[in-house]
Structure 1
Amino acid sequence: MNAFSAGWLALREPFDREARAAAGASFDLKGLAARLRGEASALTVLDLACGTGANLRELAPRLGGVQRWTLVDHDPRLLAAVPGVSAPWARAAGLSMTTSAGGLCFEGPASRVEVELLRGDLARPLDPALPGRHRLVTASALLDLVSARWIDALAVRAHEAEAALLFALSVDGRALWQPSLRDDDGVHRLFAAHQRRDKGFGPALGGDAAQWAATRLSSLGYEVTQAASDWHIDGRDGAHSVAMLRAMVEGAAAAAIEQDPSAAPWIRDWTARRLDRLERTTLRVGHRDLLATLP
């Protein structure tokens, strides 16, 4: 699986949070948590490709109550960063945070979230015991990196465990730059083709991932709800937004050139024109959130 830096994850997290808040009205997560918890003392949650824990920080307050999370990632540096990145969030949320070997715990007046940090290579066949002991399986910004076969295998494992699934921030292929420039479409076409390269899971689904997952899960008897969770990045909003736009321009250009090296001259020209007007640029990137539950 390709590596992601903690810096990139920190840069994108505010835009992820805003996008997921827009999609959140479509999902009754507290009601979902109550149903999944049932008579058990805690809701068990499996977070795949957790990075530095952004998905936990987003979902734990919305699920509420007592929770036990297993955070899985292949990168030990990202796992090691979870406590430090989460500490300011915990303070802002009025939660105390304690750490222990292999995990941490957040506790407040009405909630307790126990967290196990687990290193695991998700490109290998998934250990059936992982979804088997969790009532909710979740991931953020993962589905578009994986293959149809990988999603199919996870869907079957989750169904066997009677677990619900919540996938956030899967790209859906839409991107809108304003003001538009010549070659926007050309760069986006090459970037989208690059997204479908093998990231270690087989040929990636890219913008088709959410719909593939929805179809597959529906065929297994899941009730599937989707909601748009688009990024809205506006260079007029200040330095952080400008930095995000710069990362998007440079990342798209690098991927497009890697996809078609012969196109490098015009892509570099596009890059220069885009970078020259970041503070006057907006970008909307299409994403989908998907919740699948069994009746």
Structure 2
Amino acid sequence: MNAFSAGWLALREPFDREARAGACASFDLEGLAARLRGEASALTVLDLACGTGANLRALAPRLGGVQRWTLVDHDPRLLAAMPAVFTPWARATGLSMNTGGGRLCLEGSALKVEVEMLHCDLAQPLDAALLGRHRLITASALLDLVSVRWIDALAVCARKAEAALLFALSVDGSALWQPSLRDDDGVGRLFAAHQRRDKGFGPALGGDAVQWTAARLSSLGYEVTQAASDWRIDGRDGAHSMAMLRAMVEGAAAAAIEQDPSAAPWIRDWTAQRLDRVERTTLRVGHRDLLATLP
């Protein structure tokens, strides 16, 4: 699986958080948590490809109550960074935090979250027993990286476990730069083709991931709800937004050149023009959130 740096995850998290706020309003997450918890003392949640825990930080306060999370990632460096990342967030949200034995415990007046971190390569066959121990299976920015075969295996395991699924921030293939440049579409086409390369799970679905997953889960009896969770990045908003735009420009250019090295001259021209305009550029990147529950 491709590596993601803690720096990149920190750079994108404010845009993820803003994008998810609208999408989460479309889902009754507190009601979902109550239904999934049932008579149990805690809601059990499995977070796949957790990075430094942004998905938990977005969801746990909305789910509420007592929760037990298992956070899974293939990169031990991201797992090791998690306590340091959670400390300022816990302080800002009024939660106490205790660490020890590879676990975190976050607690406030209306929320208690026990967190176990697990080093695991998700590109290997999925552990059905692990999935079966959790009532909610979730992931953020993962679906577009994986293959039809991987999603099918996950869907079948989740159905056997009668678990709900919540996938956040999967790209839908759309991107709108303003002001526009002549080569925006050309770079976009090459970038989209690069997204479909094998990321370790087989040929990636890229912008088709959400629709394909929704259809597969529906065929297994799930009720599926979707909501838009688009990134909106405006260079006029300050240094962090400009840094994100530069990362997006440079990342798109690098992927496009890797996809078609012969296009490097005009892609480098596009990159220079985009970077020169970053202070007055806006970018909308289309994403979708998907919630699947059993009747």
- Deviation at residue 134 of structure 1 after TM alignment: 0.1
Give 1:82's aligned amino acid: M
Deviation at 1:111, TM superposition (A): 1.3
SS at match of 1:139: strand
Match of 2:261 in 1: 261
Tell me the equivalent position of 1:91.
91
Task: Name the structure 1 match of 2:35.
Answer: 35
Counterpart-to-counterpart distance in 1, 2:179 and 2:261:
26
Match of 2:15 in 1: 15
What SS is found at the alignment partner of 2:72? strand
Structure 2 equivalent of residue 66 of structure 1: 66
Residue matched to 1:146: 146
Q: Give the equivalent residue in structure 2 for 1:222.
A: 222
Offset of residue 168 of structure 1? 0.1
Secondary structure, counterpart of 1:170 in structure 2 = strand
Q: State the distance in 1 between where 2:130 and 2:221 align.
A: 21
Deviation at 1:100, TM superposition (A): 1.1
Q: Which amino acid in 1 is paired with 2:199?
A: K
Aligned to 2:194: 194
In 2: Cα distance, 1:123 partner to 1:56 partner: 22
SS in 1 for 2:286: strand
- What is the one-letter code of the residue matched to 2:227? A
Give secondary structure in 1 for the equivalent of 2:291. Answer: strand
- Which runs of structure 2 are paired with 1:171-250 in the superposition (5 Å)? 171-250=171-250
Q: Deviations over 1:228-258 (max 9, x none)?
A: 0000000000000000000000000000000
Cα distance per residue 1:188-232 (max 9 Å; x no partner):
000000000000000000000000100000000000000000000
Amino acid aligned to 1:55: N
Match of 1:288? 288
Cα distance in 2 between the residues matched to 1:25 and 1:45: 20
Question: How far 1:112 sits from its partner (Å)?
Answer: 0.6
Q: State the match for 2:156 in structure 1.
A: 156
1:110 to partner: Cα distance: 1.5
Matched with 1:134 is 134
Matched letter for residue 238 of structure 1: G
Cα offset for 1:130? 1.2
Task: Tell me the secondary structure at the aligned position of residue 199 of structure 1.
Answer: coil
Quote the Cα distance in structure 2 between the aligned partners of 1:124 and 1:236. 43
Deviation at 1:109, TM superposition (A): 1.3
Q: TM-score, normalised by structure 2?
A: 1.00
Q: Following the alignment from structure 2 to structure 1, what is the Cα–Cα distance between the partners of residues 182 and 239?
A: 26
Report the residue type matching 1:243 in the other structure.
A
SS at match of 2:40: coil
Structure 2 distance, partners of 1:174, 1:45, is 30
**Given residue 180 of structure 2, which amino acid in structure 1 is its aligned partner?**
S
1:294 deviates by 0.1
Distance across 1 between alignment mates of 2:120 and 2:252: 29
- The residue identity in structure 2 corresponding to 1:15 is F
TM-score (norm. length: structure 1): 1.00
Q: Does 1:2 align with 2:11?
A: no
1:254 partner amino acid: A
Q: Aligned AA for 1:38?
A: G
Distance 2:234 2:167 in 1: 25
Give 1:25 shift: 1.4
Match of 2:166 in 1: 166
1:24 Cα deviation after fit: 1.3
> Residues of 2 paired with 1:83 and 1:217: CA distance?
34
Q: Aligned partner of 2:146: which letter?
A: V
Q: Which runs of 4+ in 1 moved over 4 A?
A: none
SS at match of 1:288: strand
AA matched with 2:29: L
Give the CA deviation at 1:70. Answer: 0.1
In structure 2, C-alpha distance between the alignment counterparts of 1:227 and 1:135, rounded to whole Å: 21
